[in-house]
Structure 1
Amino acid sequence: MINILLNDQAVTVSAGMSLTQILEHQTITLNGVALVLNAEVVPRSRWSHIMCQHDDKLEVFSVVAGG
């Protein structure tokens, strides 16, 4: 198990979980969100390939369209 910060909340997850798996585990809808991992925006195409590490900081933002 590892500890991460998810939107400034301490969360314990299994080691080796991808960003996609963490979102699903936290019941966060994958559509309409953007991810920032350790102050870097992560393209959606990479979410399933990036595994969180101990003490990572993950921020989830809702995407809002406007005009």
Structure 2
Amino acid sequence: MHGHQIIELTVNQQPFVIEAKATVAALLTAWSGEPDGQLKVAVALNQQVLPRKKWSTQQLQHQDELLIFNLVAGG
């Protein structure tokens, strides 16, 4: 029996830990407390904008840097 491995990364320049092999979608849910489908945000992973369709497949790596931006509704 062994514990889950965790990785350390940064979210909006703050330290954050999550289980290894977590996806961006899982991180967004953990970070916000909301299901990722309800979040009106954009995500950049290591300075690259990550399309929403990749959130559920993109696995996070140790020391990744994420930036989460609120999208302002309206025009």
Superposition TM-score, scaled by structure 2 size = 0.81
Shift in Å, 1:64: 1.1
Report what 1:6 is aligned to.
Answer: 11
Question: Quick check: which one's helix share is greater?
Answer: 2
Larger Rg computed on CA atoms: 2
Q: 1:60 aligns with which of 43, 50, 68?
A: 68
Find the residue that maps to 2:66 and give its secondary structure: strand
Cα separation, 1, equivalents of 2:63 and 2:34: 20
Alpha-carbon offset, residue 66 of structure 1: 4.6
Give RMSD over aligned pairs. 1.3
Q: Which residue of 2 aligns with 1:37?
A: 45
User: How many equivalent pairs are there?
Assistant: 67
Unaligned runs of 5+ in 1: none
| 5+ long unaligned stretches in structure 2 | 1-5
SS at match of 1:5: strand
Q: TM-score, normalised by structure 1?
A: 0.90
